[in-house]
């Protein structure tokens, strides 16, 4: 396959950690101990009023953020995920959060009201990408495609392709549509698209700290949003990937590919799909050393907003923001970022058919 060459959003590494062969050789690093986590101390404030439609109250409070090094665990796929350490102490104010990922039906309401066009629906221009062949300047987006047989997990272009005509209305390409998919999460959403929706809805995207506090549901230091077992009682708790990646998704959790929202149990704060299904945009710029910056500063980081500038040493020229939660493509063979303290990243104009978002809203009295 000829690789697309027109833009950062088409460059292989711009996809982010979970899209690439993220299984580096282990370097010497002392394993974190469970004592790196301290108890979550949720605020004792009641919800400030009736919940906005589709949202739940997240009380905020103080918690331990980040993920242990679980590379010795059969659960973890060998990825050290160093950017999720050190585990550090964070405080966030209370906020409302969407109970589910934003759905196609909700996105359609936004488009009907505003006629908004997503980045994937607009052809790149010669002025933006003067070195790109003109035939590559077509609107589209990135789509996952299973490989015909097992492959070394080194080159994402074995299973990701740039698909002309792929966008939120045609998530896997022009031959696909949203019939019967109103309650599926909207996908093929780049960061500016998600920001535009949030502004229209009088909401905003969560910070990474807000997202992780909410996903942990008041628990502390557990591997998953629901506890320490991936399948408690033999039950799947999230829409992830079973089978041989990226050849065949066997759908043991009930879903091959994307699932409608809220098909698995909610976490302790009433949030659905904080693991798996689709990655979710957060507002923080991505830097692999941001947790270290906060830990080095000492004390408790209050309402951290992310680093001032983005930096990914794997692709220094790309501007990336944080993704959280993992997707239906996450598997212990390759990417286990459905673990609650882990992080993803993505170039801001890059959308895909496993990437969506949800919003938060501050209570009116603290909305300043
Ligand atoms: Ca699945």
Q: Where are the alpha helices (DSSP H) in 229-353?
A: 290-297
Question: How far apart are alpha carbons 243 and 65 in whole angstroms?
Answer: 31
Residue with tokens 């009088």: 202
Query: What is the number of other CB atoms lying within 10 angstroms of the CB of residue 299?
Result: 10
How far is ligand 1, taken at its centre, from the CA of residue 227, in Å?
A: 19
User: Are 171 and 187 within 8 A, CB to CB?
Assistant: yes
Query: What is the number of other CB atoms lying within 10 angstroms of the CB of residue 170?
Result: 21
Residue range 326-338, pLDDT digits in tens: 999 998 887 899 9
How far is ligand 1, taken at its centre, from the CA of residue 162, in Å?
A: 23
CA distances from 85 to 29, 81, 88, 210 (A): 11, 8, 8, 17
Residue at 24 is within a domain:
no
Task: Say how many domains are in the chain.
Answer: 1
How far is ligand 1, taken at its centre, from the CA of residue 31, in Å?
A: 31
Task: Return the structure tokens found at 120.
Answer: 């994937």
pTM of the full predicted structure? Answer: 0.91
How far is ligand 1, taken at its centre, from the CA of residue 242, in Å?
A: 6
Residues making up the chain, counted from first to last:
368
How far is ligand 1, taken at its centre, from the CA of residue 80, in Å?
A: 24
**CA 22-340-333 angle, 5° bins:** 35
Residue at 183 is within a domain:
yes
Residue range 281-290, pLDDT digits in tens: 999 999 999 9
User: Are 207 and 304 within 8 A, CB to CB?
Assistant: yes
Question: How far apart are alpha carbons 347 and 15 in whole angstroms?
Answer: 6
Residue at 83 is within a domain:
yes
How far is ligand 1, taken at its centre, from the CA of residue 182, in Å?
A: 19
Residue range 142-168, pLDDT digits in tens: 999 988 898 888 788 888 999 999 999
Residue at 58 is within a domain:
yes
Those residues with Cβ within 8 angstroms of residue 72's Cβ, 6 or more apart along the chain or in another chain: 31
How far is ligand 1, taken at its centre, from the CA of residue 87, in Å?
A: 29
Q: Is 284 exposed, middle or buried (0-12, 13-18, 19+ CB in 10 A)?
A: buried
Residue at 29 is within a domain:
no
CATH number at residue 127: 3.90.1580.10
List the pLDDT tens digit at each of the 368 positions of the chain. Answer: 232 333 444 443 344 434 443 334 344 444 444 469 999 999 998 899 999 999 999 999 999 999 998 887 877 777 889 999 999 999 999 999 999 999 999 999 999 999 999 999 999 899 988 888 888 899 999 999 988 898 888 788 888 999 999 999 999 999 999 999 999 999 999 999 999 999 999 999 999 999 999 999 999 999 999 999 999 999 999 999 999 889 899 999 999 999 999 999 999 999 999 999 999 999 999 999 999 999 999 999 999 999 999 999 999 999 999 999 999 999 888 789 999 999 999 999 999 999 999 999 999 744 44
Residue range 182-238, pLDDT digits in tens: 999 999 999 999 999 999 999 999 999 999 999 999 999 999 999 999 999 999 999
Identify the DSSP state of 346: E
How far is ligand 1, taken at its centre, from the CA of residue 4, in Å?
A: 28
Residue at 33 is within a domain:
no
User: Are 334 and 242 within 8 A, CB to CB?
Assistant: no
How far is ligand 1, taken at its centre, from the CA of residue 112, in Å?
A: 31
57 bridge partner residues:
96
Task: Return the structure tokens found at 29.
Answer: 């690093």
How far is ligand 1, taken at its centre, from the CA of residue 70, in Å?
A: 22
How far is ligand 1, taken at its centre, from the CA of residue 187, in Å?
A: 16
Query: What is the number of other CB atoms lying within 10 angstroms of the CB of residue 25?
Result: 6
Reported in sequence order, the residue ranges of 131-181 that DSSP labels E, i.e. its strands, are: 140-144, 160-164
Question: How far apart are alpha carbons 114 and 197 in whole angstroms?
Answer: 10
Domain of 250 in residue numbering reads as 1-19+39-368
Question: How far apart are alpha carbons 165 and 121 in whole angstroms?
Answer: 7
88 bridge partner residues:
65
> What's the pLDDT score for residue 79?
80
How far is ligand 1, taken at its centre, from the CA of residue 360, in Å?
A: 26
Terminal-to-terminal C-alpha distance of the chain: 50
How far is ligand 1, taken at its centre, from the CA of residue 241, in Å?
A: 5
User: Per-residue DSSP letters for 30-99?
Assistant: PPP-GGG----EE--PPPSSSPPTTEEEE--EEEEES----TTSTTSTT---GGG-S-EEEEE--EEEES
How far is ligand 1, taken at its centre, from the CA of residue 179, in Å?
A: 20
Closest among 245, 249, 237 to 338, alpha carbons compared: 237
């Amino acid at each position: 396959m000829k690789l697309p060459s027109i833009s950062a959003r088409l460059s292989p590494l711009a996809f982010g950690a979970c899209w690439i062969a993220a299984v580096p050789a282990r370097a010497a690093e002392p394993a974190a101990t469970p004592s790196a986590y301290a108890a979550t101390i949720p605020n004792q404030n009641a919800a400030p009023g009736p919940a906005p439609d589709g949202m739940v109250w997240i009380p905020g409070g103080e918690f331990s953020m980040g993920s242990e090094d679980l590379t010795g665990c059969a659960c973890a796929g060998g990825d050290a995920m160093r950017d999720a350490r050190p585990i550090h102490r964070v405080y966030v104010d209370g906020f409302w959060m969407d109970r589910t990922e934003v759905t196609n039906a909700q996105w359609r309401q936004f488009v009907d009201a505003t006629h908004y066009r997503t980045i994937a629906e607009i052809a790149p221009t010669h002025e933006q990408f003067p070195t790109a062949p003109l035939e590559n300047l077509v609107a589209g987006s990135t789509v996952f495609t299973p490989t015909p047989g097992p492959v070394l997990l080194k080159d994402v272009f074995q299973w990701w392709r740039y698909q002309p005509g792929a966008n939120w209305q045609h998530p896997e390409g022009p031959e696909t549509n949203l019939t019967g998919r109103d309650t599926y999460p909207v996908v093929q959403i780049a960061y500016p698209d998600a920001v535009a929706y949030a502004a229209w809805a009088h909401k905003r995207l969560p910070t990474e700290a807000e997202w992780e506090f909410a996903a942990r549901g008041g628990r502390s230091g557990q591997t998953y949003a629901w506890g320490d077992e991936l399948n408690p009682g033999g039950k799947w708790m999230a829409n992830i990937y079973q089978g041989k990646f990226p050849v065949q998704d066997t759908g043991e959790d009930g879903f091959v590919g994307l699932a409608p929202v809220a098909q698995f149990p909610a976490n302790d704060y009433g949030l659905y799909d904080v693991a798996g299904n689709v990655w979710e945009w957060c507002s923080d710029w991505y830097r692999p050393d941001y947790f270290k910056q906060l830990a080095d500063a000492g004390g408790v980081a209050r309402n951290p907003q992310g680093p001032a500038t983005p930096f990914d040493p794997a692709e220094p020229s790309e501007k990336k923001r944080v993704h959280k939660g993992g997707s239906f493509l996450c598997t212990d063979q390759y990417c286990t970022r459905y673990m609650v303290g882990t992080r993803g990243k993505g170039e801001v104009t890059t959308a895909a058919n496993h990437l969506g978002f949800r919003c938060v809203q501050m209570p009116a009295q603290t909305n300043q």
